[in-house]
Amino acid sequence: MPRRVAVEKDLSAIGDHLAENGLEVERVDMTDLTPSRLQGYGAVVISGQTTNFMGMEDIKAKVPVIEAAGKTADEITAMVKERLLLQD
């Protein structure tokens, strides 16, 4: 299971926190992600300001997408780790 987490570039503090907690973080521009590229990640963290993520509301990704809006770095880290464990 991939332990790599894609984090929207605008969420640098969240990305730093995830990395400090042992996860491999790649900061990405959400417009650069394709459905096939998503498969390389264990989770994706977005700001929540992204509507219609990747322009494909109707496509179901097997990768958990976590919206950061209104959550602390600790809450997001816990959510990411929980979802990664569920994939094992």
Domains of the chain: 4-87 (3.40.50.280)
State the pLDDT at residue 85.
Answer: 83
Is residue 29's pLDDT more than 60? yes
22 pLDDT more than 70? yes
Closest CA to 29 of 58, 54, 57: 54
Of 14-18, 38-42, 68-72, 78-82, minimum mean pLDDT range: 38-42
Q: Is the pLDDT of residue 7 over 90?
A: yes
61-82: average pLDDT = 91
Rounded average pLDDT over 25-38: 82
Q: Which residue has the tokens 């959510």?
A: 79
The strand order across the sheet containing 24-28 reads 24-28, 4-8, 43-46, 65-67
* Residue 55 clears pLDDT 70, i.e. is over it: no
